[in-house]
Amino acid sequence: MNFRIVLVCLVFILYFFDEISSQQELNNQEECIDGPSMWYTGRRNVTSSGIACQRWDSNFPHAPKQTPSDGSHHNYCRNPDGDLKGTWCYTMDPTKRWEYCKIKKCPDDSVVIWTNHDSKNGGAHILSVKADPEIVKLQTDTVGIFNVSVLVASNQTKTEFWAVTADYNRQMIFFTDYMSEYIGVRYMDLGITAQFLEGMAHGIENMAYDWLTGNLYWTDSEFKWVMAVDRTFSFYTPVYRTKLDPPYAIALHAKQRKLFFSIYNSAGAVIVTTDLAGKGERILFASPEVYDVTGLTIDYTDDRLYWTDFTGYGGKVVSSRLDGTNKTVHHGRSGAIYWGISAYLDYLYVTDVHARYSPAGDKHYSVWVINKLPKVESVFRYTLEGKPRGISILSKNEDRSFDDVSAEGECLNQPACDHICLPRINATRECACTLGYTKVGDTRCVTNVVQDNFLLLADAGQGKVFQIPFNITSTNQYSVIPLRKTKKVATIAIDPHTKNIYWSDKRVETIKKAGLDGSRTYPLLKQHAVSMAVDHRDGNVFFADEESQTISVTTSSGTHTRVLMQPDNFNETDIKMLTLDPKNNALYWTDAGSGIGNGSVWRMRMDGSRKEMVYNKLHSPQAITIDYKRNSLFIGEAKTGMVYEKPLDELKTIQNTSHLNAKQFDLSGHIRRLTFYIADIKVHENTLFFVDGKTNKIEQIDLTSGPASLTTYGPSEFYRITSLALFSTSYYDTYLRPIPNPCATQNHPCQHICIPVSNTTKRCLCEGGSVQLGSACYKTANSGKAPRYKEGTCPIDKTYSLLPCFSEAEVTWTDPVWTDDKTDASALTLTRPQWKSPANFSVGTYVFSYTATDSDKNVARCTFNVYVKATSCGDPPLMPPSLMINGRLPCNYNFGAEYDVKCVEPNTKIVFQGSSGDDVTNICTRSGNWSIPDFKSARCRPKPTTAPGTATTTTTATTANTEKEQPHTKKIHTISPTLSDSNTKGVGGIVAPQSTGLKPGTVAAIVVMAILLVIIIAAVVIMTLRNRPIWKVARFEFPILWKSKTEESPPSENPYSVMS
C-alpha cells in the first residue's frame, strides 16, 4: 500500500512538472492577440520581464482591484480594464504590484477612415488611421504623434468631402463631394478614384453599403428620401420618402436585411427601421428619447445599433438592441456636436464637428474613441486641424462579423431584376426600377412613354430627358426617354413633324438626335448648343453656340451647317435662349447682355437677314417661346420672375423697344421663395409652364386667372432642369402643319441648306467655308473655322454655398485651352474675365467669358456661370427674459452657424427638452431652419449644491482606464497636420493614462509552488496512513488547484446583458 501511495505521488509530481514545462513552453513561444487584448483568453502567465503572475483571486502578495471577465481562478495575463498597452497581471514579486505581459498583436489591416475638410489650408481629404487603438498606441512616439494616411485628396476650393462608407471585400471607399455634387469611389487595389452620379450628390448626408448585394444607400436631405443605387451606378431608386422632413443618419445590417435611418424636424428626431427595400416601417425611437440624430452605425460584433445625438447642450453616444430595447447611453460631452459614428470591435469612433481653440487661437477638431464596454471607461481623441464629418471602418472583421457569409442570396437565387434588387427579410427580395421607369410584373422595368400631349424636360443633374403627360393624375406620373450614351443633357428640342428629339450634351460637346423611344440615336454635330429649335417643315435645326455667341442652322442630318448671326459686340452678348416663328419665318432670342438691366430681345429672318431689336433694357431675360393659340411671344426674366406677353400681330413692325407696353405676369409674389431663377417657359392650352432653376420644380399658372393660380406640375424628383419642350398632335395639326413650305417643291433644289423666307419663296444657303454660285456651293480656299477650346477645358457652371461666418466664397477655375484649324494657338487673340483664379465672390451670379479670335477674325467664346448662394436660417428665435446669449452671436446666420444660450441668473442651469446643462447650442441646419426654433419651453433652475465634505467629479477629455492604482495622466502635445504626403505624421495624438508600478524584484514562483504542493501531498499521505487501516484502498482525485472549471467556459457573448 505504501508503494501504491508513493506511486500516486510520483505520478502527481510528474504531471505537475509536465504542466510547468508546458506552461514554460507556452510562455516562450510566439503568440499574438487578434482583436482587443480584453478578448485574450490564452495561458501566458509571466510578465514581459519574466515575473510569474499572481492568481487573480489571491490577495498574496497584492490585493487585486481588477478581475478579468472570465473569472479569477487563474494567473493568466488579462486586460480587464481595457488598457491600451495590452495585457498585464499582478505579479508574485512583492516589490512590483503589476506589469505588462507585452503579448504581440496579430497583423491587422483594419483602418478607420473619415472625411476631412480643411478650410484654413484649403482642400478636402479622406484620412485613415489603424482601427485598433492598441496598435496606434504601440506605434505612437513619446510626444504623442501618430501616423495618418491620406487616401484621397483634393486641393480644389469647390470640394468638401462629406459622407463616407467602405467595402473591405472589394477594397473600395465610397464618399461624396458636397460642393461638386458627385459620389466618388476610391479603388484601393488600383489606386484610382472615379466619380459617379455627378450633379446628384449635393444633398447626401450619410451613406451605408450592403456588401452582400453591392447596393449603396444614402440619405438626401434636399429630396427628403433614402436612395439606393446598384453596384454599377447605373440604376438608382428612392426606397423611402419622408415627405416633409429631411433624413440624416443611415446604417444597415446586411445579414438581417434591415435598414435604419433618422428623420429630423424641429420637434425632434425619429429613428426608423425598415427592410432593405424600405418596407415594413417601424419607429424605434422618437422625441424626447432622441433629438437630433446625425450618425448611425451597426456593430456586427454585438448586433447593436449605435448613434450620435445632439441635444443642444452637447453630444451623446447611445446604443440599443436592433429591436429598440436595452437603450444605453455610453458617453456624453457638453459642448460637443457629434456627427458620424462607426464601430470596430470594442471601440466606437465618433467625429466632432464643433471647433475648439487653443490658447494661441488655433482651431482644431476631434475624432473621439470610446470603449463601448460597460465596465471600461476609456475615452480619448485624435486632434485634427480639418473638420471631420463622415466616418467608417474598412475591416474584414466588421464587414463579415467573423463569419463566412455565403455569396448566394435572395438576389441571386431568384429571377434577375432588370434594374436593382433590394433584399427583404425572410430571404425574399423586391425588384425596383430607376427614376422614370415603371415596374411590370416581378422583374421588368419599362418606360411608359406616351406619343401625344406631353412636356419634355432636360435634367442636367441626372443627364437624362424625362416626359410628363399633360393629363397627369398624380405627381409621380412621368417617364424617362431611354436615350443612349448621354452624360449631361443641357438643351432639348423636338421636331413636331417627326417627333425626333434633339439634345445637346455639354460634357462631350455634341448635338445628338433620336426617336421618341430613344431608338436611332446618332450624333448630329460636334458642337454644344445653349438653346435649340427645330423647323418642322424641313427639319432644319437652329441653335445658339455658347462659345462663339453665334446662331447657326444645320440640316436634319447635320451634313451642312452655316452661321446665321454673329454678335456686333462680342463682349456684350450673352445669348440665353431662342425660339422659332415659322408662320412669319422669323427667329427670336434673348440676350442677357453685359449684365443686370442690359438685357434685350432680338429677332431676324430665318436666313439670318433683317436682324433687329425687339426689346431692350430688360433686367435678366432668359426664357422665350411662342404660342400660336394665343398668337403671342412670351419672354421670361430669370431673376425678377416677370413674364411678358406680346401679340405677334403687334410685332409685325417694331415701333417701340420698351417692354412696358407688353402684358405682364408677375410670378415673384406667388412663388413664395426668397430666391428663384426662371430657367425656361412653355405655353400650352392657355397654361404657362415654367421651371425654377433654384428648386428644379416645374410649376404652372392659368394665363386667364393669372399668377394667383400657381401650382406645382409633376414630381419634385429632378436635380437640375435646364430646358423644356412640348408636343401636341392637335396643336401641330391646327397651327403648324398648315404653314406652307416652299422648300418642299422640287424646282431648283438647294444643294446644302434651304430656308423658307415667305410662304412661297425660299433661300438657298451654303455651309460655312463655301461660296454660292447660283444654287451650287463650292468650297473656298480660305474656309477657316472659328477657334475651339479643347474638350473638357471650358469649365461648367458651378454653385457655391457660403461657409458659416463667411460673406464670400473662394472660387477656383482653370482657363480654357484653345485650338484653331489655321492659326497657331500662340497667335490667337485672347480675352479673359476680369477675375483671376482663385477669387472671392459674395452671394450672386457671375458670368465668366473667355474669347479667342483667329487670323480670319473668327471668334469663339467659353462662358460659364458661378452661383454663390447662402442657406440662411434668418434671425435667431426670440428668448424669454430669463435667457441670454452665452458669448456672441455668430457673424451671420448661414448654414452651420451656431451660438450658445444660458440662464441670466448665476448658479442656474437651463432645462430644455428633457435635459439640463450650463448652456444649450442652437445651430443653423442645411434645411435653413434653426435646430431650436423657439425657447418657449426653456426654464432656469438653481444648480444643486454640493454638501460639505462631498467630492465632485469633473469629466475631462481623457478618462482613467485603470484601477490598478492611481493613474498618472500625462497631457500629450499634438502637432498640426501636414497633408502634402500620402503618409503624414502629426495629425494628432492620443491622451492615455500612464500607470507606474513598484520597484522590480524576482520570485521563484514555480519552485515555491512545487515545494508547497509536495508538502501538502506528503501531509495528506501521512494523515491517511495514520487514520485508515492499511488494507483500506483510498482513490485520490487530484484537483488542479491553479485552474478552475469555470475558466474553461467561454465568457458571455453579450457584454450588455447586465445593462438596464
pLDDT, residue 208, reads 98
Identify the pLDDT of residue 71.
86
Read off the pLDDT of residues 148-204 as tens digits, 9 standing for 90 and up. Answer: 899 999 877 678 999 999 999 899 999 999 888 999 999 999 999 999 999 999 899
Helix (H) or strand (E) holding 615: strand 612-618
1017 pLDDT higher than 90: no
| Residue 855: closest CA among 818, 831, 826, 822 | 822
Asked if residues 453 and 462 have their Cβ atoms less than 8 Å apart, the reply is no
pLDDT tens digits along 850-893: 888 888 778 787 888 888 887 778 888 888 888 888 877 777 78
What pLDDT does residue 904 have? 87
Quote the pLDDT of residue 995.
35
C-alpha grid cell, residue 120: 484654413
State what percent of residues in the chain have pLDDT above 70: 83
Helix (H) or strand (E) holding 908: strand 908-912
Q: 3-state DSSP call for residue 394? A: strand
CATH 2.40.20.10 is the classification of domain 34-107: yes
As a whole number, mean pLDDT of residues 517-524 equals 88
* Confidence at 931, pLDDT banded by 50, 70, 90: confident
Q: Is 120 helix (H, G, I), strand (E, B) or coil?
A: coil
Same topology between domain 34-107 and domain 455-736: no
Nearest-angstrom CA–CA distance, 38 and 376:
10
- Residue 860, beta-bridge partner list: 852
Cα separation, 786 vs 771, whole angstroms: 17
Confidence of residue 399 (pLDDT cuts 50, 70, 90): low
Q: Which of 288, 283, 331 is nearest to 307 (CA)?
A: 331
**DSSP codes joined into one string, 83-102:** -TT--EEEBS-TT--EEE--
- Let me know if domain 455-736 sits in CATH 2.30.30.30: no
* Domain 788-869: assigned CATH number: 2.60.40
Please name the residue that has the C-alpha cell 443686370: 596
User: What gap in Å lies between CA 763 and CA 134, rounded to an integer?
Assistant: 83
Cell digits of residue 664: 405682364
Segment 719-733, tens digit of pLDDT = 999 999 999 999 999
**φ, ψ at 942 (rounded to 5°):** -60, 145
- The pLDDT assigned to 733 comes to 97
Question: Domain limits of the chain?
Answer: 34-107, 160-399, 455-736, 747-779, 788-869, 883-940
- What angle, rounded to 10 degrees, do the helices at 2-28 and 1005-1027 form? 160
pLDDT at 376: 64
Query: Who's near 946: CB < 8 A, 6+ residues apart?
Result: 952
Please list the helix, strand and coil fractions of the chain in percent, rounded to the nearest 5, in that order: 10, 40, 50
pLDDT at 781 (0 to 100):
60
CA angle 51, 54, 59 (to 5 degrees): 140
Alpha-carbon distance 442 to 439, whole Å?
Answer: 7
Q: pLDDT category, 140, cuts 50, 70, 90?
A: confident
Helix (H) or strand (E) holding 789: strand 788-789
What are the φ/ψ torsions at residue 925 (nearest 5 degrees)?
Answer: -85, 170
Q: Can you give the pLDDT at residue 201? A: 92
pLDDT at 247 over 90: yes
Q: pLDDT at residue 988 above 60?
A: no
Most confident of 588-597, 765-774, 913-922: 588-597
Of residues 97 and 567, the one with the higher pLDDT is 97
Q: Is 658 exposed, middle or buried (0-12, 13-18, 19+ CB in 10 A)?
A: exposed
103, 392 in Cβ contact below 8 A? no
* Alpha-carbon gap, residue 855 to 857, rounded angstroms: 5
CB atoms within 10 A of CB 1033: 8
Specify the pLDDT at position 941. Answer: 86
Global confidence as pTM: 0.76
DSSP string, 239-267: EEE-TTS-EEEEEEETTTTEEEEEEEETT
Go through 329-360 and write b for each residue having 16 or more CB atoms within 10 A of its CB, e for each that does not: ebbbbeebbbbbbbbbbbbbbbbbbbeeeeee
pLDDT at 42 over 60: yes
* Structure confidence at residue 17 (pLDDT): 44
Residue 519: pLDDT over 70: yes
* 969: pLDDT strictly greater than 80: no
Mean pLDDT (the chain) is: 82
- Whether 81 has a pLDDT exceeding 50, the answer reads yes
Task: Measure the CA–CA gap between 611 and 606, rounded to whole angstroms.
Answer: 10
Residue corresponding to grid cell 485603470: 962
Check whether 748 has a pLDDT greater than 80: no
pLDDT at 546: 82
* Of 404 and 460, the one with more pLDDT: 460
Taking alpha carbons only, the member of 972, 1011, 980 closest to residue 153 is: 980
For residue 362, the model assigns a pLDDT of: 83
Residues in the chain: 1060
Categorize the per-residue pLDDT at 255 as very low, low, confident or very high, splitting at 50, 70 and 90: confident
Q: Phi/psi of residue 312, each to 5°?
A: 100, -35
Strands 529-534 and 489-494: unpaired
- CB distance 1047 to 73 below 8 Å: yes
Q: Class of 160-399 per CATH?
A: mainly beta
Q: Quote the pLDDT of residue 923.
A: 84
Could you give the 3-state DSSP secondary structure of residue 38?
A: helix
Helix (H) or strand (E) holding 627: strand 621-627
Would you state the cell numbers that stand for residue 342, as one nine-digit string? 462607426
- Amino acid type, 183: I
Neighbours of 18 (CB within 10 A): 10
pLDDT band of 1006, cuts 50, 70, 90: very low
Q: What is the DSSP letter of 726?
A: E
pLDDT of residue 290: 94
Lowest-pLDDT range, 476-490, 614-628, 1029-1043?
1029-1043
Of these ranges, 405-409, 770-774, 835-839, the one predicted with the greatest mean pLDDT is: 835-839
Q: Can you give the pLDDT at residue 436?
A: 95
857-890 CB burial, b ≥16 within 10 A, e <16: ebbbbbbbebbbbbbbbeebeebeeebeeeeeeb
Segment among 672-686, 764-778, 1046-1060 with least mean pLDDT: 1046-1060
Average the pLDDT over 996-1018 and give the result.
44
- What is the maximum span of the chain, computed from C-alpha positions, in angstroms? 142
pLDDT band, residue 939 (cuts 50/70/90): confident
The pLDDT assigned to 665 comes to: 97
Three-state DSSP at 132 gives coil
pLDDT tens track for 206-220? 999 998 899 999 999
How far is 942 from 963, CA to CA, in rounded Å? 35
